[in-house]
Every structure is written in C-alpha cells, then in structure tokens.
Structure 1
Amino acid sequence: MKIFNYRMIIFTLSIIFGVVFSIPSFLQTDSGKKISLGLDLQGGLHMLLGVKTEEAVTSKIKSIATSIKYFTDDEDILIDGLSIREKSIVFTVLDKDELPRVDKMLDEIKGLNITKSDLEYKVEITSEEVAVTKDLAVAQAVETIRNRLDQFGLAEPTVIRQGETDIVVQLPGIKTQEDEKAARELISKPANLELMAIDEERADQVYTLSRAQASEYGDIILEDTTDPNKKYLVKEIPILNGSQVVDAQVAFDQGNQPIINFTLNAAGARIFGDFTGKNVGKRLAVVLDGKVYSAPNIRERIGGGSGQISGGFTVVEAGNVAIALRSGALPAGVTLLEKRSVGPSLGADSIKASTIALVSGFALVFIFMIVYYGYAGIIANVALVTNIFIIVAVMAMFGATLTLPGMAGIVLTVGMAVDANVIIGERIRELLRAGMSIPKAIEDGYSNAMRAILDANITTLLVAVILYAYGTGPIKGFAVTISIGILASMLTAILGTHGIYEAIMPKISRDKNLRKWFGIK
C-alpha cells in the first residue's frame, strides 16, 4: 500500500495544521491565536462619524502661514501684518529687495494662488488643493482613529471610510457606559497641540478687546483650561503644531499630579529652539484643542525639542491625551451622526442561530454523501471536516474577525467544499459503469473533473476578491471566509482525497465492491 504518497503527506500535514491552530478558537483557550468575534456576534458599539472637512482647509491655511512666518524669521526678512483673513493669508514685505526670496519660497508650496500688489501679498489655496485637502483629511482621520483605538487596547476595532466625508467605527466588546464614554472621547478628541506666542504688547487688553478687534492685530483670544474667566491674547499664527510631535508620555510633577511630556521631531526642535532663544523673557502658551493649559515665561533657549503639558489632568485623561498626541491630531473635527449599541444577548442569539445553521447544513451534507456515495462519501467527508479546520486555523493565524456574514460564508463553504468531490465522484462512477478498471477510473476521474473544478472555483474566487476590494466591513468578512474556504477545498478535495485513494488503492482493487465504495448499484 502506497500510504506515504506525496498527496497523502501534504493532506496529513494540512489536517495537523488545521487541528492545532483551530483548537484555541474552538476551545477558547487562554493561549494561542484565536478568531475575534465581530460586533454582531459579541455585541459592542457602532458609530457613524462625519468629518468637518472645512476645518482641515482652515488648518492647512494656518500651517502655510506658520511656514511663512518661520521662513521670514529664519532668513531675517522683515514682514508686517501677517494674518489670516477669510481663508487667505495676507502680509507685506518691508524691503522690496527681499521679494525674489519670498517668491521662491512660495513657489515651492504647491496648490497656491498668489496675488501680489507692490509689496503686499495675498495667498490662497486653489480649488483643486482644497478638494485634495478635504479628501486627505478623511483618510487621515480614519488612520488616526484606528491608531488611537489600537493604542487604547480595544480588540479588533473596525474603522472604514463611507462616502466622501463619513467614517464607520465598530468597537466589539464595548459593554459598559464607562467603556463607551472613554472610547467616544478618545475618538472625538482633536488633540490639536499648538505652541503660540503671547502678544505681550496688548496682553493687558485681553479683557477689553473683542475677538474682531483682536483679529485686526493678528491675535486671537483663548480661555484657560481650568478657569474659563481667565483669558489669553495670543498670536493667531502658531509657532508649532501637533504635526511635529513624535512622542507623548504620561509623567508626574513634584506634586504627584499627572502631566504629559512631549517630544518634537528634528524640524520642530529647531523651530522651538530658535523661537525660545529669540524670545527670552516672554511667555509661550501651550494650547491643546483651543484651550490654554499653561503659559510659562521663557527663561532661556530650550533645546532638545521637548516640553510638557500640565493642567489638572486625571491619570485617565492624561493617558488618553498622550495616546491622542502620539497617534496624531485629527486633521478636522468629527461629529457623531449615528450611534447604535449591539447587546451581548443579541450577539449570543446570532451565534446560536448561525451555529444551528452550520451544524444542520454540515450534518445533512455529511449524511447525503455517505448514503449516496458509500465509502467515497466518507472520504469526501474527511476532506470536508479538514476544510472547516483549515478555515478556522487560517483566520486565527491572521487575526481575522468573524462576523455574521462570515459565518454565512462558512455555511456556504460547506456546500462548495463538497461540490468538487461530487464532480470527481460522478466522473469516477461514469468510467466504472463504462467498464474501466478501478485504478484507471480514479485517475481519469480526477483528470476529467479538474477543469470543471478549477473553472468553478477560480470564478468564485474572483468574485470574492471584488467583494473584498469594494465591499464594506461585513461584506469583506464574507469575502475573506469564502476565499479561504475555496482555497482550502481545492487542497482537500483535489489533493487530499486523491492521496487517500492512492493509499488504499490495493484494498479497493481487491474488494471490487463498487456499491460499497462508490454507491454504484
């Protein structure tokens, strides 16, 4: 008996792989990789968020203004009246000999409309750049929210874009109001860190100036984070923003109060050092999400590119802010458009219904194959069981999330997995009825069935790939399950069962009982 043919060896290894790596998922052991259950199976929170893309455009304009200010300060180019007015940046160059250098700098920034009148500049973003900025804001918001949730420790969050400005967030396992509140605050927190210069000349007028009057001086009025009655008059153009932050960690001050230490990248460290060196004795406001957390006096040049934020944080708040800063500021604010909670009981009902469908479908197919094909049906069922183990093992290895459509995909895969064996079995039976020998009938049966099996599976696999590429979360789960099932069924049905026939061929040839082995009357 050719028990150790190469097909049988590969099939045996597939069985071992499937059983070993699917056990943690079936038994829910503490160790080993397991399939995570989706929102619809274990309950959790579903949210639809809308991105305020106009804020991204405003932020882009402010960032360009910051670049202009830094360039002119660094190059000792004197300008006056640098401010933002109705989505445009205006300023005046005081020395006409410096115009070529300013023009060259502005030309290096893409997507600008520049209007120049003598020494006065008006800089605007082109309509094409506005569209690109809005689209990028949504894409960045998706990535930022996903990074925050990953660092927060939530298992398998789903964050996907929907339409032009909306984002779908699914958080499986969120069961308490406290967890829901913490997750929502983390998602919606802009975490927009800015270091802004205090307008020392007019600082004492902050309580008498209106916001419109402050704007005429290129200033804005901000509130203190702990005392809304305390206000600061700061320069509208920030010195630095959160895009230069590369790390943020929670620490404790001498009074054992939580603070946040942040670190800037090389460019940010240089800007920070230059500014503090030129402004010793003045104040620098540390602004987070439009609130002033502190405004310390600059006593000396601050090198190294690091700073801290203090402002009466709790430990949890400081941790969430640090996560938000590390993962990056949201390029634009988000609004909650829809919220839906899925209870654990509903998830349990879904699992129960899906399990009943899977077990009953599996049992009916299992019984039919034995009754109709005899021992050949048992061989097909071995391949079918192996197929289920391989699907679960592969999904666990890649950390896939199993959703209700995914379970439907497994149920469908049961029928598809046995389809190849049905085609092969019918080809073998046709050849046996024609009087061909059993070994020859089995070899030719596999050969004749191969094209039909490949055509059917490849076309289905292509459809699954398209569903994954263009579908949303649940559809992607269905596509992944079907794809793994198709590939596994081709391995088990074509290679695995053929190896079993080769291993037991002498026994079948000696027995010659076609009814027992192939269900032929």
Structure 2
Amino acid sequence: MLTFARWKYFAILAVLILSVIYALPNAYPQDPSVQVSAAKTGTTAIDASLAKRIEGILAEAKIPAKSVLVEEQGNLLVRLADTEQQTRAADTLRPRLGGDYVVALSLAPTAPKWLEALAAKPMPRGLDLQGGVHFVMQVDQNAALDKRLDAYVEDIRSTLRDAGVPYTSVVRRGNEALVATLGQNADKAKAQQRLRTAFPTLAINLDGQTIALEVPQTELSRIALEAVEQNLNTLRNRINAFGVAEPVIQRQGTDRIVIQLPGLQDTVEAKRQIGATATLEFRAVTGDERAAEAALKDRSIPPDSRVYYTQDKVPLLLSKRLLVSGDQLVNAQPITDSQTGEQGVDINLNSVGGQRMLEHTLENVGKRLGIVYVEQIPTTSIVDGKEVQSIRTEERVINSATIRGVFGKSFRTTGLSAEESKSLANQLKSGALAAPMVFVEERVVGPSLGAENVKRGTTAVLYSFVFALSFFLIYYRVFGLITCLALLLNLLMVVALMSLMGATMSLPGFAGLALSVGMSVDANVLINERIREELRAGVPPQAAIATGYDKASGTIFDSNMTALLAGVALWAFGTGPLQGFAMTMIIGILTSVFTAVTVSRGIATLVYGGRRKLKSIAI
C-alpha cells in the first residue's frame, strides 16, 4: 500500500513556504548606493541635518539621488540610479565630509519591509559578479621573527636590569637563540630564576657567565602565525576606515592574505591604503650632527648607537635601544599647531609604551629624544628575466627635540607634511603591521563585466533547469511532472538556504548550483527507473512505486554521501572560488536528497495513493 505520513506533508509545506520567503529577495534588484557612517561611534551625529547637507552636496555636483535616508542601524544611505553615479557620489562626499565620516560603496535591497522584518536578504554577490579589486599579499614571516627576536633582546635587558643583575651584553645567536653574558659578580641563580619567570616559553641554559635562551620551533611557528593574524586584524581596520562595504579579508595557507573589495575600482588608492607600513620609533639621541659626522669619518660609531639621517640628510646618532614602537601606539590624530602652523600627529600610547616613555623622560629631562619615521616600501626587480618582490625600508628622523618635561601616554610630534600626518595617523589608528607584505597577485573586475557574469550565470542555471524539465516531462510523463516539481523546490531551497546563511554567490557558485540540479536529476532518474523495473516484473503499480522508492533510497544516500564528503574536503582545504563552489555543492546535495526521496514520494502518493483499483501509472 502506498502511504505517506500526514506530518510529512505539513513539513514539506512549511519548507516550501520558508523557501519562497527567503529566496524571494533575490528577485528584487539592488540599488547602487553610498553608505555614510561615523568614523568613531558617538563622536559624530548621523541625523536629518546630515541628510540635508548631503542632499545639498549632491545637488551642487548635479548627482541625482533616489533617496537620502537615515537607517535604523545609525547609518545614512544614499540610493542612486547606477554604478557611475554611485562612484561619482562617493568621490564627491569623501573630501566634503572629511575624516569624521566613512563613505562606503554598497548595494541597497529594494525588497519589501516585511521581508526585511523576517531577516530575508538577497545573497551577497562575489567580486566576479559585482566588480571590484582582488589582491593576494605575501607576509614576510622572517621579518616578523627578526622583529620579535629583537624585542626579546630588549626585554631580556630590561628583566636583568629590573632584577639588579649586572650584564655585559645581550645578543642574538641566529634565529633560534639569545645569549646574555652576565657580569663577574652577578647572581646567576637569581638571573636564571627571573628569566624563567619572564620567558616561560623559552628553554634557558646556564653555562659559566652566559645564559642561553633558546626559542623552540613551536614558539617560532606561533610567532609566524601570530604575525599573519595581526596583519589580518590591521588590514580589517584599515579597510573599514577606507570605506568598503562587505570586504573579504581571509588567510590563504600559512603566509598569504586574500583581500577582495567589491565595488571598488581605484586600485592605486586601495594598494596605498592596504600596503602602507609607515610607523614611528622613539629612540634616545646619543650624539648630535658633529658627533655623528666624526663617528662616520673615523669609523668609530659606538656599539650601542646607530647613524640615522634627517629629511635634509643631516646625520644623528641614535640609541639602538628602542623605547617605543608602532605596536604600542593605540590612537593618533592629525593636527595643525595653532601657533606655528606646523603639521603633526597627537599620539596616545598603551600602558606599556606610556610607562617606558614616562621612565625615560623622568631620567632624561634636558636631553634629546629622536622620533624616526619608518616606511617599508614594496619593490619589484627583474632577476634572470623574472619579477622578484622585495621590501625596501626607508628611515628618517622627523624630530629630535629636547625633552622639556616629563610625559607618558599622550604627546605630540611634528615634522611631517599634511599628507604624511593624515596617512600616518590613519595607519597608527588601525594598528601596526607585525610584518611587511608584498602584493603577489592583483585583479580588477569592472562593474559591467560583473553584470555580464550575473546574466550569463543565471542563464546557464535556467537553461540546465529547463532542459532537465523538458526531458523529464517527455520521457517520464506524470512522474516527469512530479520530478519537475521536486526540482523546482530543490532550486528554491538552495537559493533560500544560501541567502539565509549569507553565503556569497560567485561564478563558481553558479556552477555549483547547476551541478546540484544535475545531481537531483540523477536521483530522480534512479527512482523512476527502479519503479519501471518493478512494473516490468509484474508488481502492482502502488507497490511498484513504494518498492522503487525504498530500493533507490539506499543507493541515493550512498552516492550522495560520497559527493558530500568531496564537497566538505573542497570547502575545508580550498580558498575563495573553490569554497564558493563547495558551499553551493554541499547545500545542493542535502536539498536534492530531501526533494528526491521525500518530496517526490509525497507528491506521488498524493497523486496515486488514494486510488484503490490502480491498474497503470504514467511513467
């Protein structure tokens, strides 16, 4: 007897309704728009007066806006007619609104409010569908290790100094060890105990007057991975300040970072903001211009000092000991001195940097403090006919003023141009890069190409769907119609689930969608052929339907489980486009099993289950 539980019909109906609701927003076009938000929460107002101001700016620039409205989330949304006006509006608003606001390109949904109330949103479009820029950056992990080991040297010196243990030197030995040479009367046991407490991850060995601190391979790996993670966080902050809606910033492998900026076309500005690595270093001045020139002439530079140059190529001797570095700066604001008109940056340090600066200024009032502007610039050279990426470091002393009083966390530095002050402040606010990076891949997708990709992808999926429906209707007749209804629900479910999950649709995603239609077809073909086999064997029609579904279900589960495992592997180990394809494929496999085994059986039971004297079926 052909039966189907009533609760299953209600479940299918609920799935159908939910699928229609959450797939529906994708049928509504999205307006190119500009989103304006406060650069710092609570400091600038997003209100009706700002909306009027923006309307005036756009009207002055002759850019017609569909609407300028303040959103419930506290942002202001400007809807425009096309992407050209969107770009013009953003370029016009950024300089007029200044640094208090972030102006980002976005796509605004036009779906009804009741869909938004149900959290029904269209799928975000990938770079290949929306247009934008794609970068792959290589992190120089060796530079991160060098920086961390140099920091270890300074930390070891501070630990021994605070413990009152005399030492003659602390130096690096390669990339895996640091060696501290103690004074003749040093308390070795005390030094060893303090170092073990301060550096629990290092292996510490005492040999005569020297203490070797070895860095385990696990610690080196952790430092390298942390450098990539810190760079990821810094890039997120920079891109948020840059103003790009829904950017993709993720790690690729162990030492690469993928950045996708939908809607952005200005690669020069994007690369400048993303790849900028300028920071400040604070060092004590150990010798003025005369002392530096004499040391260079006699080749007698003190071992604890190094020669730096000012913008005017004037040499100065600065201490090798780093007082404060860029990773201890927590906030920065570009300023113009009201008395002198000089450009500068107001700087705030974290507690560690503030304490170091306080201790140094307490002991060195009347002496000079050097501020070094450090910028790491990616360069490309041709070696043996191949492009080789490298990093060139430029350093210059921007200020070497005399310490007039004691200060700690907050102070001001000058000696920069207006553009440098603004750029440096933005970089310091977003955080310092743990290691320099180089661009190893760059790709730009124009908005017109993205629109063409959407059209072609949609056409490909629709053609695959129509061809499958036509084949089933001709070859399997009534059961072909049943299969078509199941396929339609399958497609709706895939789109609805991806929209609900916020999964990004890309060209590989369209391929995965077309593949899911094909896999659903395979399952239904298997069921229909099983039913035909039972009918040829003389089994009554209702029993043939039930047996066909029962026998085919196991095979369908087994085959789809294999494909599901392949999809999970693609998603786990792939990146970017592969993950987009895998996600669509995984969702498609799950929905195709449900629609083929459960939904089509429910429809078949609804059509043939109530007939007591069923002699034949159209299959």
Counterpart secondary structure, 2:186 = helix
The one of 226, 237, 243 aligned to 2:327: 243
Aligned to 1:100: 189
In 1, distance between residues paired with 2:291 and 2:474? 93
Report the AA paired with residue 97 of structure 1: A
- Cα pair 1:5 1:499 within 8 Å, conserved: no
Q: TM-score, normalised by structure 1?
A: 0.81
| CA deviation vs aligned residue, 1:339-369 (integer Å, no higher than 9, x gap) | 3333444444433433332221111001112
Counterpart secondary structure, 2:438 = strand
Counterpart secondary structure, 1:452 = helix
In 2, distance between residues paired with 1:426 and 1:195? 78
The one of 589, 593, 616 aligned to 1:486: 589
* Pairwise CA distance, 1:461: 0.5
In 2, distance between residues paired with 1:511 and 1:261? 89
| CA deviation vs aligned residue, 1:24-48 (integer Å, no higher than 9, x gap) | 3332342353333333333333434
CA gap 1:45/1:63 in 2 versus in 1, 3 angstroms: same
* Pairwise CA distance, 1:425: 2.8
Which residues in structure 2 correspond to 1:126-145 (within 5 Å)? Answer: 133-134=223-224, 137-138=227-228, 140-142=230-232, 144-145=234-235
The one of 501, 511, 535 aligned to 1:398: 501
Cα RMSD between the aligned structures?
3.9
In 1, distance between residues paired with 2:345 and 2:595? 56
In 1, distance between residues paired with 2:371 and 2:273? 20
Report the AA paired with residue 326 of structure 2: G
* Pairwise CA distance, 1:482: 0.4
In 1, distance between residues paired with 2:127 and 2:470? 34
- Cα pair 2:530 2:549 within 8 Å, conserved: yes
Which residues in structure 2 correspond to 1:185-334 (within 5 Å)? Answer: 185-199=272-286, 202=288, 205-210=291-296, 216-224=302-310, 227-229=311-313, 232-245=316-329, 247-248=330-331, 250=333, 252=335, 255=338, 263-289=348-374, 290-295=395-400, 297-302=402-407, 305-307=409-411, 312=416, 314=418, 321=424, 324-334=427-437
Aligned to 1:454: 557
Aligned to 1:469: 572
- Cα pair 2:346 2:411 within 8 Å, conserved: yes
In 1, distance between residues paired with 2:501 and 2:422? 29
CA gap 1:127/1:368 in 2 versus in 1, 3 angstroms: closer
In 1, distance between residues paired with 2:124 and 2:298? 54
CA gap 1:85/1:402 in 2 versus in 1, 3 angstroms: same
* Pairwise CA distance, 1:302: 3.7
Moved more, 2-11 or 99-108: 2-11
The one of 136, 146, 165 aligned to 1:58: 146
Which residues in structure 2 correspond to 1:400-419 (within 5 Å)? Answer: 400-419=503-522
Aligned to 2:18: 17
CA gap 1:385/1:50 in 2 versus in 1, 3 angstroms: same
In 1, distance between residues paired with 2:400 and 2:497? 54
* Pairwise CA distance, 1:79: 4.4
Aligned to 1:43: 131
| CA deviation vs aligned residue, 1:483-516 (integer Å, no higher than 9, x gap) | 111112223333333333455555x52794844x
- Cα pair 2:541 2:615 within 8 Å, conserved: no
In 2, distance between residues paired with 1:392 and 1:231? 65
Q: How many residues align?
A: 504
Structure having greater relative contact order (Cα 8 Å, sep ≥ 6): 1
Moved more, 339-348 or 366-375: 339-348
1:149 aligns with 2:243: no
- Cα pair 1:38 1:402 within 8 Å, conserved: yes
CA gap 1:277/1:251 in 2 versus in 1, 3 angstroms: same
Q: TM-score, normalised by structure 2?
A: 0.69
| CA deviation vs aligned residue, 1:386-431 (integer Å, no higher than 9, x gap) | 2222222322333322222221111111111222222233333444
* Pairwise CA distance, 1:262: 5.2
CA gap 1:423/1:126 in 2 versus in 1, 3 angstroms: closer
- Cα pair 2:336 2:342 within 8 Å, conserved: yes
In 1, distance between residues paired with 2:8 and 2:411? 64
In 2, distance between residues paired with 1:340 and 1:460? 32
1:161 aligns with 2:252: yes
1:183 aligns with 2:273: no
CA gap 1:433/1:83 in 2 versus in 1, 3 angstroms: closer
Counterpart secondary structure, 1:34 = coil
Moved more, 366-375 or 408-417: 366-375
1:509 aligns with 2:580: no
* Pairwise CA distance, 1:73: 4.1
| CA deviation vs aligned residue, 1:261-320 (integer Å, no higher than 9, x gap) | 5554444444444334443444444445344454555455445x44555554657x6676
CA gap 1:395/1:276 in 2 versus in 1, 3 angstroms: farther
Report the AA paired with residue 12 of structure 2: F
CA gap 1:309/1:368 in 2 versus in 1, 3 angstroms: farther
- Cα pair 2:542 2:614 within 8 Å, conserved: no
In 2, distance between residues paired with 1:67 and 1:266? 16
In 2, distance between residues paired with 1:221 and 1:18? 69
- Cα pair 2:571 2:578 within 8 Å, conserved: yes
CA gap 1:352/1:103 in 2 versus in 1, 3 angstroms: same
Report the AA paired with residue 22 of structure 1: A
Structure 1, unaligned runs of 5 or more: none
The one of 67, 71, 76 aligned to 2:159: 71
| CA deviation vs aligned residue, 1:70-112 (integer Å, no higher than 9, x gap) | 3244334454566779878676544623433333344453456
In 1, distance between residues paired with 2:182 and 2:474? 91
Report the AA paired with residue 275 of structure 1: H
In 1, distance between residues paired with 2:451 and 2:611? 50
1:350 aligns with 2:440: no
* Pairwise CA distance, 1:475: 1.5
The one of 472, 476, 483 aligned to 1:369: 472
Moved more, 341-350 or 257-266: 257-266
* Greater share of helix: 1
- Cα pair 1:223 1:291 within 8 Å, conserved: yes
Report the AA paired with residue 577 of structure 2: P
Counterpart secondary structure, 2:611 = helix
CA gap 1:236/1:497 in 2 versus in 1, 3 angstroms: same
Report the AA paired with residue 341 of structure 1: V
CA gap 1:395/1:16 in 2 versus in 1, 3 angstroms: same
CA gap 1:135/1:216 in 2 versus in 1, 3 angstroms: farther
- Cα pair 2:308 2:315 within 8 Å, conserved: yes
Aligned to 1:174: 264
- Cα pair 1:403 1:477 within 8 Å, conserved: yes
| CA deviation vs aligned residue, 1:230-284 (integer Å, no higher than 9, x gap) | 5553322212333344x43546455498865555444444444433444344444
